[in-house]
Structure 1
Amino acid sequence: MTALEPLPVITAPTKERVAYLDNARYWVMLLVVIGHSLTQFGSMDSARAVYVWIYAFHMPFFILISGYTARRYMGDARQVRRIVSTLVVPYLIVETTLQLISRHYTGEPDPLRILSPQWLAWFMAALFVWRLTTPIWRALRYPITTSIVISLTVGLFELPNVLSLPKILGFLPFYVVGMHMSREWFERLTARPIRIASAIVLLVAFLICYRYSGGWETDWLLWKQRYDESPLSATPIEGMTQRAELLAVGFVLTFAALSLVPKRRSWTTRFGGRTFYCYLLHGYVIVYLTYQFELFDRIEKFGVGAVIGCIVGSTILANLLMTVIFSKVFRPLFEPKLGWLFREMPQPEAAPSKPEPKPEDAKAESTST
Structure 2
Amino acid sequence: MSALESLPVVTAAPKERVAYLDNARYWVMLLVVIGHSLTQFVAMDSARAVYVWIYAFHMPFFIVISGYTARRYMGDARQVKRIISTLVVPYLLVETTLQLLMRHYTGRPDPLALLSPQWLGWFLAALFVWRLTTPIWRALKYPITTSIVISLLVGLIEVPNVLALPKILGFLPFYVVGLHMTRERFLTLSRTPVRIASAIILTVAFVLCYLYSRNWTTDWLLYKARYDESPLNSTPLEGITQRAELLVIGFTLSFAALALIPRRRSWTTRLGQRTFYCYLLHGYIILILNQQFGLFDTLEAYGVVAVIGAIIAAIALANLLMLEVVRRVFRPLFEPNLTWLFREVATSSDQSRTPAAESPAVSPTRSV
* CA displacement at 1:344 relative to structure 2: 1.1
Give how far 1:145 is off.
Answer: 0.2
Q: Distance in 2 between matches of 1:13 and 1:116?
A: 34
Partner of 2:114: 114
Q: SS at the partner of 1:157?
A: coil
Q: Partner of 1:312 in structure 2?
A: 312
Counterpart in 2 of 1:170? 170
Post-superposition CA distance 1:76-128 (Å, at most 9, x none): 00000000000000000000000000000111110100000000000000000
What is the alpha-carbon distance in structure 2 between the residues aligned to residue 48 and residue 7 of structure 1? Answer: 55
**Structure 2 CA distance for aligned equivalents of residues 34 and 319 of structure 1:** 12
- Where does structure 1 lack aligned partners over 5 or more consecutive residues? 353-369
Structure 2 vs 1, CA of residues 160 and 2 (structure 1 numbering), >3 Å: closer, same or farther? Answer: farther
Q: CA deviation at 1:350?
A: 6.7
Give the secondary-structure state (helix, strand or coil) at the position aligned to 2:225: coil
Aligned equivalents of 2:210, 2:103: Cα separation in 1: 35
- Whether the aligned pair in 2 keeps the contact of 1:19 and 1:269 (CA below 8 Å) is yes
Q: Which amino acid aligns with 2:264?
A: R
SS in 1 for 2:232: coil
Q: State how far apart, in whole Å, the 2-side matches of 1:41 and 1:195 are.
A: 32
Q: Which residue of 2 aligns with 1:20?
A: 20
TM-score, normalization by structure 1: 0.93
Cα distance in 2 between the residues matched to 1:75 and 1:16: 19
Is 1:338 the counterpart of 2:346? The answer is no
- 2 CA distance for matches of 1:156 and 1:241? 12
* Identity in percent: 75
Q: Does 1:182 align with 2:182?
A: yes
Which whole-Å deviations, capped at 9, do the CAs of 1:244-275 have from their partners, x for residues lacking one? 00000000000000000000000000000000
Tell me the residue number matched to 1:199: 199
C-alpha change, 1:3 and 1:239, in structure 2 (3 Å) is farther
Q: Quote the offset at 1:2 in angstroms.
A: 6.2
Show CA shifts across 1:52-86 (max 9, x none).
Answer: 00000000000000000000100000000000000
The Cα of 1:347 is off from its aligned counterpart by 2.7
Residue pair 1:278, 1:318 contacting (<8 A) in 2 also: yes
Q: 2:364 is matched with which residue? A: none
1:30-64 deviations in Å (ceiling 9; x for gaps): 00000001002241222100000000000000000
Distance 1:329 1:251 in 2: 36
In 2: Cα distance, 1:18 partner to 1:215 partner: 41
Aligned to 1:365: none
- Opposite residue 225 of structure 1, the aligned amino acid is A
| 1:126 corresponding residue in structure 2 | 126
User: Which structure 2 residues correspond to residues 294-309 of structure 1 after superposition, within 5 A?
Assistant: 294-309=294-309
**Alpha-carbon distance between aligned partners in 1 of 2:325 and 2:7, rounded to the nearest angstrom:** 35
- 1:72 correspondence with 2:72: yes
**Is this contact kept in 1: 2:166–2:223, CA < 8 A?**
yes
SS of the residue corresponding to residue 40 of structure 1 reads helix
Distance change in 2, residues 1:238/1:266 (3 Å): same
Q: How do residues 14-93 of structure 1 correspond to structure 2 at under 5 angstroms?
A: 14-93=14-93
Matched, 1:101 2:87: no
Name the aligned partner's letter for residue 209 of structure 2: C
State the 1:10 CA deviation. Answer: 3.0
**1:356 paired residue number:** none
Instruction: Evaluate the alpha carbon distance shift between residue 151 and residue 6 of structure 1 in structure 2; reply closer, same or farther with a 3 A threshold.
Output: farther
TM-superposed CA distance for 1:4, in Å, is 4.0
Amino acid across the alignment from 2:170 = G
Q: 1:3 to 1:104 in 2, by over 3 A?
A: farther
Name the counterpart of 1:155: 155
The answer for unaligned runs of 5 or more in structure 2 is 353-368
Shift of 1:205: 0.0
Aligned-partner residue type, residue 113 of structure 2: R
Could you tell me how far 1:12 is from its partner in structure 2?
Answer: 4.2
2:100 counterpart letter in structure 1: L
Say which SS state the counterpart of residue 48 (structure 1) adopts.
helix
**Residue in 1 aligned with 2:234?**
234
State how many pairs are aligned.
Answer: 352
| Structure 2 counterpart of 1:252, one-letter code | T
Return closer, same or farther for 1:116/1:12 CA change in 2, 3 Å cut-off: closer
Deviations 1:142-188 (A, max 9, x none): 00000000000000000100000000000000000000000000001
In the aligned structure 1, how far is the partner of 2:338 from the partner of 2:16? 25
AA of the residue aligned to 1:85: S
Compared CA separation, residues 6 and 248, structure 1 to 2 (3 A):
farther
